[in-house]
Amino acid sequence: MPQPTVLLLARADLSPVDTEFTTGPLDAQDPFNEGRRTAFIDDQGIAAGLVHFRTSLSVAAYPYTEMLVVHRGSVTLTSGTDSVTLSTGESAVIGRGTQVRIDAQPDSLWA
C-alpha cells in the first residue's frame, strides 16, 4: 500500500468489518503463527491487524515492538517480576527484545 491508507481493523461490538486480512505469521519469528491476521504491512516493517489467541506462550526476546488493544477477553503480560493484565479496551506495548510471557483468556482478540 504505497499511498496513504486508512483501514478499519475491528469494531467495539465485534461485528464484521470489510477489511481484507491475510492469515498467518508476519515472518518466521512471529510467535502467533496462524492466530495473526494482517490487514497492512509496509516496506518499513510496520504492520496492522488482529491476533486471536487462547493460550499461553513465552518468548525469550520478542521480535517486534508491538502495541496491542484488547477487543475481547483478557491478556496478562509478564516480564521478569512485572505483570499487567489487560481487559477489553485496555492497551499495552511490548518492546522489541523483551522477555515476555503472554497468557490469554480463551478466545481473546486484540489489534
Q: What's the confidence (pLDDT) of residue 4?
A: 66
Instruction: Give the C-alpha separation, 104 to 1, whole Å.
Output: 31
- Asked if the structure places residue 9 within a domain, the reply is no
More confident residue, 104 or 7: 104
How would residue 34 be classed by pLDDT, with cut points 50, 70 and 90? confident
Is pLDDT at 1 greater than 60 in this prediction?
no
Which strand ranges, in their side-by-side order, compose the sheet holding 108-110? 22-23, 36-41, 47-53, 108-110, 66-72, 91-94
In this structure, what C-alpha cell is assigned to residue 36?
495473526
Q: What percent of the chain has pLDDT over 70?
A: 96
Rg (CA), the chain: 14
Looking at residue 25, its pLDDT comes to 95
62 inside domain = yes
**CATH of residue 54:** 2.60.120.10
Residue 41 lies in a domain: yes
